[in-house]
Amino acid sequence: MSTTSGTGGVSYRNGTQRSSLRTQSSASTSSGGQKASVKSKSVLRKSSPAALGGGSSKSGGGGDAGVPGRVRVAVRLRPRNGEELIADADFADCVELQPELKRLKLRKNNWDTDTFEFDEVLTEYASQKRVYEVVAKPVVEGVLDGYNGTIMAYGQTGTGKTYTLGQLGEEDVADRGIMVRAMEDILAEVSLETDSISVSYLQLYMETVQDLLDPSNDNIAIVEDPKNGDVSLPGATLVEIRDQQSFLELLQLGEAHRFAANTKLNTESSRSHAILMVNVRRSMKTRDGLSSESNGNSHMTKSLKPPVVRKGKLVVVDLAGSERINKSGSEGHTLEEAKSINLSLSALGKCINALAENSSHVPFRDSKLTRLLRDSFGGTARTSLVITIGPSPRHRGETTSTIMFGQRAMKVENMVKIKEEFDYKSLSRRLEVQLDNLIEENERQQKAFVDEIERITVEAHNQISEAEKRYANALEDEKLRYQNDYMESIKKLEENWSKNQKKLAAERLALGEKNGLDITSNGNRSIAPALEEVSELKKLLQKEAQSKMAAEEEVNRLKHQLNEFKKVEASGNSEIMRLHKMLENETQQKEKLEGEIATLHSQLLQLSLTADETRRNLEQHGSEKTSGARDSLMSQLRLPQIQDPGNAEKPPVARLFEQVGLQKILSLLEAEDADVRIHAVKVVANLAAEEANQQQIVEAGGLTSLLMLLKNTEDETIHRVAAGAIANLAMNETNQELIMDQGGIGLLSSTAANAEDPQTLRMVAGAIANLCGNDKLQTKLRSEGGIAALLGMVRCGHPDVLAQVARGIANFAKCESRASTQAGTKRGKSLLIEDGALSWIVQNAKTETAAIRRHIELALCHLAQHEGNAKEMVKEGAMWELVRISRDCSREDIRSLAHRTLTSSPTFLTELRRLRVDIR
Binding residues: 155-162
Shortest distance (Å) from residue 176 CB to ligand ADP: 13
C-alpha distance from residue 360 to each of 66, 72, 379, 411, 667 (Å): 21, 22, 13, 15, 127
Tell me which amino acid residue 39 is: K
Query: Which residues touch 137 (CB under 8 Å, ≥6 apart)?
Result: 50, 51, 56, 185
- State how far the Cα of 562 lies from the Cα of 655, in Å rounded to an integer: 73
Q: How far is CA 661 from the centre of its chain?
A: 86
How far is residue 5 from each of residues 13, 103, 418, 423, 738, measured CA to CA in Å? Answer: 21, 40, 11, 12, 107
Q: Least CB distance from residue 271 to Mg ion, whole Å?
A: 10
Q: Is the CB of residue 701 less than 8 Å from the CB of residue 721?
A: no
Cβ proximity to Mg ion: between 103 and 161 the closer is 161
Residue 157 or 844: the one with the smaller Cβ distance to ligand ADP is 157
* Burial tier of 594 (Cβ tally within 10 Å: 0-12, 13-18, 19+): middle
Per the DSSP assignment, residues forming a β-bridge with 209 are 204
Nearer to ligand ADP, 56 or 402 (CB): 402
CB 199 within 8 A of CB 210: no
Q: Which is nearer to Mg ion, 161 or 311 (CB)?
A: 161
Q: Which does 81 bind (CB under 5 to 8 A by kind): ligand ADP, Mg ion, none?
A: ligand ADP
Binding span for Mg ion by CB under 5 A among 140-148, 153-161, 578-586, 798-806? 153-161
In angstroms, rounded to a whole number, what is the distance separating the alpha carbons of residues 524 and 877?
Answer: 116
Q: What is the DSSP string of 331-400?
A: TS--HHHHHHHHHHHHHHHHHHHHHHTT-S---GGGSHHHHHTTTTSSSSEEEEEEEEE---GGGHHHHH
CB of 166 to ligand ADP, least distance (A): 8
What, of ligand ADP, Mg ion, none, does residue 163 touch, CB below 5 to 8 Å by kind?
Answer: ligand ADP
**Count of residues in contact with Mg ion, rule CB under 5 A:** 2
Span of 154-162, 389-397, 725-733, 797-805 interacting with Mg ion by CB under 5 A: 154-162
| 861 within 8 A of 873, measured Cβ to Cβ | no
Q: Cβ–Cβ contacts within 10 Å for residue 135, how many?
A: 29
Q: What angle do CA 657, 662, 664 make, to 5 degrees?
A: 100
Q: In terms of CB distance, is 23 or 162 closer to Mg ion? A: 162
**Binding at 374: pick from ligand ADP, Mg ion, none (beta carbon under 5-8 Å per type):** none
Least separation in angstroms between CB 122 and ligand ADP: 9
State which residue, 45 or 78, has the beta carbon closest to Mg ion.
Answer: 78
d(CA 129, CA 125): 11
Q: Measured from the CB of residue 81, what is the shortest distance to ligand ADP in angstroms?
A: 6
Question: Of the two residues 162 and 830, which places its CB atom closer to Mg ion in the complex?
Answer: 162
The least CB distance from residue 117 to ligand ADP, in Å, is 21
Answer for the pair 307, 430: CB distance below 8 angstroms, yes or no.
yes
Give the gyration radius of the chain's Cα atoms: 70
The least CB distance from residue 84 to ligand ADP, in Å, is: 10
Write down the least CB distance from residue 1 to ligand ADP, Å: 29
**198-257 binders of Mg ion (CB under 5 A):** none
**What is the widest separation between alpha-carbon atoms in the chain?**
202
CA–CA separation, 456 and 686 (whole Å): 95
**Residue closer to ligand ADP (CB basis): 160 or 808:** 160
> Rounded to the nearest whole angstrom, what is the least distance from the CB of residue 431 to Mg ion in the complex?
51
In angstroms, what is the minimal distance from the CB of 148 to ligand ADP?
Answer: 24
| Distance from C-alpha of 353 to C-alpha of 189, rounded to nearest angstrom | 36
3-state secondary structure 641-654: HHCCHHHCCCCCHH
| CB of 398 or CB of 911, closer to Mg ion | 398
Q: Which is nearer to ligand ADP, 318 or 658 (CB)?
A: 318
- Calpha distance 233→255 (Å, rounded): 20
From the list ligand ADP, Mg ion, none, which binds 34 (C-beta under 5 to 8 Å, kind-based)? none
Angle formed at CA 821 by CA 818 and CA 825, multiple of 5 degrees? 120
In whole angstroms, give the CA distance from residue 722 to residue 685. 7
Shortest Å distance, C-beta 416 to ligand ADP: 28
**Residues in contact with ligand ADP by the rule CB under 6 A:** 78-79, 81, 155, 157-163, 270, 388
Closer CB to Mg ion, 149 or 321, in the complex: 321
Q: Smallest gap, in angstroms, from Cβ of residue 103 to ligand ADP?
A: 19
Q: Which stretch binds Mg ion (CB under 5 A): 76-84, 162-170, 287-295, 356-364?
A: 162-170
d(CA 819, CA 881): 24
Beta strands in 696-758 (DSSP E): none
**How are the residues of the chain apportioned to helix, strand and coil, as percentages rounded to the nearest 5?**
65, 10, 25
Shortest CB 142 distance to ligand ADP, Å:
25
Residue nearest to ligand ADP (CB): 160
Q: One-letter amino acid identity for 733? A: E
> Applying CB under 5 A, does 167 fall inside the site for Mg ion?
no
> Do the beta carbons of residue 118 and residue 71 sit within 8 Å?
no
Helix (H, G, I), strand (E, B) or coil at 112: strand
Contact criterion met (CB below 8 Å) for 64 and 8: yes
Interface residue with Mg ion among 150, 162, 167, 370 (CB under 5 A) is 162
Question: For residues 391 and 184, what is the distance between their CA atoms, to the nearest angstrom?
Answer: 31
Nearer to Mg ion, 322 or 865 (CB): 322
CA gap 63, 67 in Å, rounded: 9
Q: Return the H-helix or E-strand segment holding 106.
A: strand 103-109
132 binds, among Mg ion, ligand ADP, none (CB under 5 to 8 A by kind): none
- Of the pair 177, 312, the CB lying nearest ligand ADP is at 177
The 8-class DSSP code of residue 136 comes to I
User: H/E/C letters for each residue in 342-359?
Assistant: HHHHHHHHHHHHHHHCCC
- Of 155 and 349, which has the nearer Cβ to ligand ADP? 155
Among residue numbers 374 through 393, which ones bind Mg ion (CB under 5 A)? none
- Which residue numbers belong to the known binding site for ATP? 155-162
CA atoms within 13 A on the CB side of 725: 32
CB of 7 to ligand ADP, least distance (A): 38
- Using CB under 5 A, list all residues that contact Mg ion: 161-162
